[in-house]
Amino acid sequence: MSQKKLATEAAGKLEKSTKHGQAGADDNPIAKADSLEDAMLASLGLKVKLPWMANVSERATGRATGRHLMGDDPRLPAMPDAPTLKDFFKFRFGLNPGACAHLLQSAKLAKDKNESDNIVLACLLHDISVVSLIRADHGYWAGQMVAPYVDEEVSWAITYHQSLRYFASPEHNYEYPAFYKEIFGEDFVVPDYLVKAREAAKAHRWYESAMSVVVNDYYAFDPDVKVELDEFDDVIANAFRQPSEGLGFDDSPVAHMWRTVVWPNNFL
């Protein structure tokens, strides 16, 4: 479908929705633009999953009109001055309960298999970007977020689990996820950069480590399984190097990522 035809159809849907009071965008240009974008995506039959940050509006309730939020968002739980990894689970990751439960289940599966502390920790942290920061290239983002605080094996396994998830591995009893076919379509083609990453990973000494994350990721979606973070206190103590200044305030190359999770709605 041409862009012109798509825009025409979307504009028609937007006009119809505003006439029925659904969009509420008549006198709000930002809301109108957002509604038009939603209508265009609907015309394509696509869904857009917003990153965690985009699910909280940029201004805090009660602030004066035109004054942009900087610092603590009153709608979010307050973070300690020197937050630990467990604080992020409690006050930020836990705001996305389903995704957080997935991380805990994944780590529990690895621990029950007597995997090393590094592998259990990688499973615990493999999707923290999806949970709290950004969805796109989540393995790369999450791997970078934890790199200064973990052994290289951990950050490497987290990074490469993203590409390896797209390819069946019979020797690991791992099949291409059926829900990928549902959400991406039967005709989805894995991007070249992920194909290349997978080939590089297969030749790496930590390939099995990354595949352990993939396998424990795949089976960690049971809504009836409850896992507590305290079960991994020993793993975190042994395998995660917590900065005394707090995550986000230690001047590491990735401190800005953790600060963004602390203050996700800062205007600048």
Give 93's contacts (C-beta < 8 A, 6+ positions apart): 99, 100, 103, 128, 131, 132
Arithmetic mean of pLDDT, 21-25: 45
| Mean per-residue pLDDT, 66-77 | 83
pLDDT band at 2 (very low <50, low <70, confident <90, very high): very low
Q: What pLDDT shows up at residue 31?
A: 56
> Other CB atoms closer than 10 Å to residue 4's CB: what's the count?
8
For residues 220 and 106, is the Cβ–Cβ distance under 8 A? Answer: yes
What pLDDT was estimated at residue 106?
Answer: 96
Q: What is the pLDDT of residues 157-175, one digit of tens each?
A: 999 999 999 999 999 999 9
SS (H, E, C) the chain: CCHHHHHHHHHHHHHHHHHCCCCCCCCCHHHHHHHHHHHHHHHHCCCCCCCHHHHCCCCCCCCCCCCCCCCCCCCCCCCCCCCCHHHHHHHCHHHCHHHHHHHHHHHHHHHHCCCCHHHHHHHHHCCHHHHHCCCCCHHHHHHHHHHHHCCHHHHHHHHHHHHHCCCCEHHHCECCCHHHHHHHCCCCCCCHHHHHHHHHHHCCCCHHHHHHHHHHHHCCCCCCCCCCHHHHHHHHHHHCCCCCCCCCCCCCCCHHHHHHHHCCCCCC
Could you tell me the pLDDT band of residue 69, with boundaries at 50, 70 and 90? Answer: confident
Q: Could you give the C-alpha distances from 198 to 29, 176, 201, 206, 213, in angstroms and in order?
A: 44, 14, 5, 12, 14
Q: Is the pLDDT of residue 24 over 50?
A: no
Average pLDDT over residues 17-40: 50
CATH architecture of 85-262: Orthogonal Bundle (1.10)
Tokens 């008549």 sit on residue: 26
Residue 138: pLDDT above 60? Answer: yes
Which one has a higher pLDDT value, 52 or 201? 201
222-255 pLDDT tens trace: 888 899 999 999 999 999 999 999 999 999 999 9
- Pick the closest to residue 142 from 130, 129, 156 (CA basis): 129
Instruction: Note the pLDDT of residue 36.
Output: 52
Reply yes or no on whether the pLDDT at 107 is more than 50.
yes
* Residue 19 pLDDT > 70: no
Higher pLDDT, 70 or 142: 142
> Which residue(s) pair with 169 in the sheet?
174
Q: Which is nearest to 63 in space by CA: 75, 52, 79?
A: 75
pLDDT at residue number 30: 47
pTM over cut 0.85: no
Contacts of 3 (CB under 8 A, 6+ apart): none
In the chain, domain spans: 3-48, 85-262
